[in-house]
Amino acid sequence: QEDPQNLTTEQRKAKRGSRVFLDIMRNSYAQTSVAPYAVRAKPGAPVATPLEWRELEDVTSQSYTITTVLERMSQKSDPWKSLYSEARPLPQL
């Protein structure tokens, strides 16, 4: 860990203290939450892809894969284009 004073991967809250929990287990089998654009540990290497509401009707878990997601990204504007310009520092704990 680069910052063990402030960050932890400890699962138990009682052992974390005031450190920020980094949940590294979200990309394993049967997890319901995953970071956007993460490659899922499933056959075909599907990619968790941000969608527009109107796209939900036709999408499946295999709609975007590691081999097709870049084409989609080239056709859509990046929903996080301004992420870094609008980033704010975390407050000191």
State pLDDT tens for residues 59-75.
998 999 999 999 988 88
For the chain, domain boundaries? 1-33, 34-77
Average pLDDT, integer, range 28-53: 85
Average pLDDT, integer, range 8-34: 85
Indicate whether this model's pTM tops 0.75. Answer: no
Taking CA atoms, 6 is separated from 50, 87, 93, in Å, by 30, 19, 8
Can you list the positions of beta strands (E) in the chain? 7-8, 20-21
The residues, ordered by sequence, that sit 6+ positions from 10 with a Cβ below 8 Å of its Cβ are 16, 19, 21
- Which among 50, 44, 51 is positioned nearest to 66, based on CA atoms? 44
